[in-house]
Amino acid sequence: MTIDITQQLNPSQLQVVQTIEGPVLVIAGAGSGKTRVIEYRVLHMVQQNIPPHAILLLTFTRKAAQQMLARASRNDIRCSYVEGGTFHSFAYQVLKKHSRHIGFDSFMIIDESDAEDAIHLCLGKLGLNEKSKRFPRKDTLRKILSMSVNKSLSLDQVVEKEYPHFCEYVPEMEKIKAAYARYKMEKNYFDYDDLLIYLRLLLTRNENIREGLSEKFRYIMVDEYQDTNRLQADITFLLAQKFRNCMVVGDDAQSIYGFRGATHENIMEFPQRFAGCKVFKLEANYRSSQAILEVANAVLNNMTSKYKKELFSAKGTEGEKPQLSFFQDSSSEAEWIADKMLQLRSEGLAFSHQAVLFRSAYLSIPLQLELSRRSIPFQVYGGMKFYETAHVKDVLAHLKIVANYKDELSWARMLQLIEGIGPKTASKIVDKINAAGDLNRAVSSVLPEETRQYKFARDIARLVVTLEKLSDAQVRTADKLETLIDYYLPILKNKFDDWNQRINDFEAIKQIAQRYDSLGDFLADFALEPPDRGVAQAQASLPDEEKPVTLSTIHSAKGLEWECVFLIGLIDGVLPVSFALNDDSSIEEEQRLFYVALTRAKTRLFLSVHHENTGMGLSQFNKVSRFLDSHQVLSKLDQEVRLDYDVI
């Protein structure tokens, strides 16, 4: 079955889809059908008999890749064999096969909090623990090290720019950096940054492997290119160098990951890196009504962005003017939104077509309370990932040991769950474990022998039995979890007052585990592909009318769209966030974030401000976001002052 793509696309979209050979840069404004273009380009390529496994689609989240490929597959099943994922997951796949060429027989991915633990450990070894009070904490240290990698800057430069108050500690940080690097190398730990670093290293050093991968992936596409960093651009270049069939898509006005080292210079420099590159611009907006686009354009005009552009609505609908409302506090804001949601639904707009967006996750809490109170189903994106909550990490630590008994961070974490074992005792036991030689000996002999004389020997015995069950290769991961959770339950109840809530997450983990045969892949994916709290899977099969409303950080809303969007907390210090206020480029990024939020809406858009901050003792009074403080923008909005707000 072939479908006529010329019927589905406008002329510029069609050009992009049909330009398969050679380097291509697509500047795709918000809502310009970028996803559609990628989807049809994949389809077109496959129908030109390019083997699907020769196509590599790199995206920002795996969800994005899956969605595009799933949609392309509806027209041609071969599209589902296209390789797709994030740079990090791609790096994992490649390194899993080839890491020995850069000196690692195997490796294990550690997440941010593991990395912080490791840094903490190095701090101890270096004797920097008793340093003065003003020494940066482990999470700050990790951020500094990571930023220097992702922005390709020296520690000196990062600290000077982002943490000037820590300038005097740069020499110590250099030592920590070296110690941390050595530690990771010793233990075969790769942090997120290492995945990219080592992939680039592999591609640079080993010509055969680079050639092999270039042969394999003759066609490369990168989505959200404005949010890639230097390393990712290098990787793209190395992979595509040979055949030069590389298309990148992005929008500099939507670059919102600068804090992670992303640089829109990648977009600007792409034509220089790939000489002869064709540049296409998609400016017709198929998503939003004209009234919404006018607000977005007004914001765009306030920016000093490099590619000037003006979105125009291809839908041709004028639509309702977006509304700006003021509330006394966040709970009256939440009440009003809940009312509005119910009203919209009674008018025929399903919950699943409505979303609330916010700058920071905590802003959604009053809303979550209100929605629960009214039994409005909702789903939360962004904020604390459930895989980085303490109880989930506790459980996973056990599995990580089974996958790799040398994982001493996990050993330490696991042992310290037992009452009476603190950092010292744990580290003593871990030393013995390290010498054991294999998992079986470590668990069945070393562990009981080393702890025989302590009063927690009984607890250790229980742990040993559990670990022995877990290491049975015949048992499926999902069943192992069953055993493990039985073991962990008493610890959970002891450790957390809210264990009742937390216990739900274990169901989610079990569900996710069902999808994996290999424990290693399960753990890697857990680190790399933030699974949503499990509900998403269950809801996928429901009809639209029964799906919940979405609450999302603006960052997590990237690439998504809804009929109706509520954007809350338009307060100076919230959006733009307070930390950004003294730096022009950060303010710009906040403004782009605002722009991204606005352009998620198709037909209805509600902006809101609450004036009073509850909590923190005395109430504080908020100022309206500076992004709204311009006639250009305000004139495009309908303003409504709520009666429950006392003007002072």
What is the smallest separation between the CB atom of 280 and DNA, expressed in angstroms?
Answer: 26
C-beta of 322 vs 382, nearer to DNA:
382
The residue assigned the tokens 């970028």 is 34
Q: How far is the CB of 288 from DNA (least distance, A)?
A: 23
Backbone torsions φ then ψ of 141, nearest 5 degrees: -60, -45
Map the footprint of DNA across residues 217-256, applying CB under 7 A.
Answer: 256
For residue 578, the minimal CB distance to DNA (Å) is 8
Select the span of 97-105, 247-255, 381-389, 600-608 touching DNA (CB under 7 A). Answer: 381-389
Q: At what angle do helices 138-150 and 112-125 cross, to 10 degrees?
A: 110
Give the per-residue SS3 of 474-513.
CCCHHHHHHHHHHHHHHHHHHHCCCHHHHHHHHHHHHHHH
With respect to DNA, which residue has the nearer C-beta, 209 or 587? 587
- Residue 426 binds DNA (CB under 7 A): yes
d(CA 400, CA 407): 7
Residue 220 region, left (φ>0) first, then alpha (ψ -120 to 50), else beta? beta
Is 431 a binding residue for DNA by CB under 7 A? The answer is: no
- Which range in 84-92, 215-223, 404-412, 482-490 contacts DNA by CB under 7 A? 84-92
Q: Which stretch in 14-22, 289-297, 413-421, 622-630 sits in contact with DNA by CB under 7 A? A: 413-421
Sorted by sequence, the CB contacts under 8 Å of residue 353 that are 6+ apart come out as 544, 562, 563, 564
Is residue 260 a contact point for DNA (CB under 7 A)? Answer: yes
Instruction: Give the nearest distance from C-beta 48 to DNA in angstroms.
Output: 30
Cα 491 to the center of its chain, rounded Å: 30
Report the distance separating Cα 157 and Cα 143, nearest Å: 14
CB 496 within 8 A of CB 391: yes
If you search the block for the tokens 């941010």, which residue do you land on?
Answer: 112
The reply on whether position 53 binds DNA by CB under 7 A is: no
In terms of CB distance, is 360 or 434 closer to DNA? 360
Residues numbered 567 to 586 that lie near DNA (CB under 7 A) are 577, 579-580
In angstroms, the CA 606 to CA 337 distance is: 9
Q: Binding residue for DNA (CB under 7 A) from 383, 531, 534, 548?
A: 383
> Which residues ranging from 505 to 534 are in contact with DNA (CB under 7 A)?
528, 530
Task: Using the rule CB under 7 A, give the single segment among 9-17, 268-276, 290-298, 416-424 that binds DNA.
Answer: 416-424
Q: Is 66 a binder of DNA (CB under 7 A)?
A: no
Smallest distance from the beta carbon of 419 to DNA, in angstroms? 4
- Residue in 87, 506, 562, 606 binding DNA, rule: CB under 7 A: 87
Looking at the chain, how many residues does it have? 648
Residue 618, SS3?
Answer: coil
553 binds DNA (CB under 7 A): yes
Query: Contact at 8 Å (CB) between 276 and 23?
Result: yes
In the structure encoding, which two tokens stand for residue 242, read together? 């040979």
Q: Give the integer Cα–Cα distance in Å for 306 and 166.
A: 33
Stretch touching DNA by CB under 7 A, among 273-281, 404-412, 419-427, 481-489: 419-427
How many chain residues are in contact with DNA, going by CB under 7 A?
Answer: 46
Stretch of 25-33, 69-77, 80-88, 349-357 lying at the interface with DNA (CB under 7 A): 80-88
Which of 244, 393 has the CB closer to DNA? 393
What's the N-to-C CA distance of the chain in angstroms?
67
Q: How near is the Cβ of 423 to DNA at its closest, in Å?
A: 5
Q: Report the site for DNA in 323-362 (rule: CB under 7 A).
A: 359-362
Q: Which stretch binds DNA (CB under 7 A): 85-93, 398-406, 463-471, 624-632?
A: 85-93
- Region from 215-223, 302-310, 424-432, 505-513 binding DNA, contact rule CB under 7 A: 424-432
- CB nearer to DNA: pick between 119 and 291: 119
Among 13, 31, 60, 508, binds DNA (CB under 7 A): 60
455 binds DNA (CB under 7 A): no
Q: By CB under 7 A, is residue 616 in contact with DNA?
A: yes
Q: Does position 168 bind DNA by CB under 7 A? A: no
Query: What single string gives the DSSP state of each residue in 220-280?
Result: EEESSGGG-BHHHHHHHHHHHTTT--EEEEE-GGG---GGGTB-THHHHHHHHHSTT-EEE
Among 80, 241, 317, 425, binds DNA (CB under 7 A): 425
Rounded Cα distance, 57 and 225, in Å? 12
Instruction: Concatenate the DSSP letters of all residues of 25-60 into one string.
Output: EEEE-TTSSHHHHHHHHHHHHHHTT--GGGEEEEES
Amino acid at 262: A
Rounded distance between C-alpha atoms, residue 311 and residue 282, angstroms = 9
Q: Which of 127, 164, 543, 615 binds DNA (CB under 7 A)?
A: 615
Instruction: Give min distance, CB of 493 to DNA, in A.
Output: 13
Least Å distance between CB 210 and DNA? Answer: 22
- Smallest distance, DNA to C-beta of residue 477, A: 22
499 binds DNA (CB under 7 A): no
- Least distance to DNA from the beta carbon of 264, Å? 15
Q: How far is the CB of 199 from DNA (least distance, A)?
A: 12
Which position among 186, 211, 318, 419 is part of the footprint of DNA (CB under 7 A)?
419
Six token digits for residue 490? 């008493």
Span from 132-140, 212-220, 245-253, 297-305 in contact with DNA (CB under 7 A): 132-140
Task: Give the CA distances from residue 388 to residues 110, 193, 343, 358, in Å, rounded to whole numbers and listed in that order.
Answer: 11, 18, 37, 21
Distances (CA, A) of 515 to 385, 477, 521: 20, 9, 10
**Contact track, DNA, 1-40, x by CB under 7 A:** ----------------------------------------
Closest to DNA by CB, 359 vs 398, is 359
- Indicate which single residue of 36, 88, 187, 309 sits in contact with DNA (rule: CB under 7 A): 88
The alpha-helical segments, DSSP class H, found in 361-403 are: 365-373, 390-403
Angle, to 10 degrees, between the axis of helix 519-528 and the axis of helix 499-513? 120
- Residue 431 burial (C-beta neighbours within 10 Å; 0-12, 13-18, 19+): exposed
* Residue 192 found at the interface with DNA (CB under 7 A): yes
423 binds DNA, rule: CB under 7 A: yes
Does the N-terminal peptide bond of residue 490 adopt cis geometry, omega within 30 degrees of 0? no
- Residues at the interface with DNA (CB under 7 A): 60-61, 86-89, 112, 120, 129, 133, 137-140, 192, 256-257, 259-260, 359-362, 381-383, 385, 416, 419-426, 528, 530, 553, 555-556, 577, 579-580, 615-616
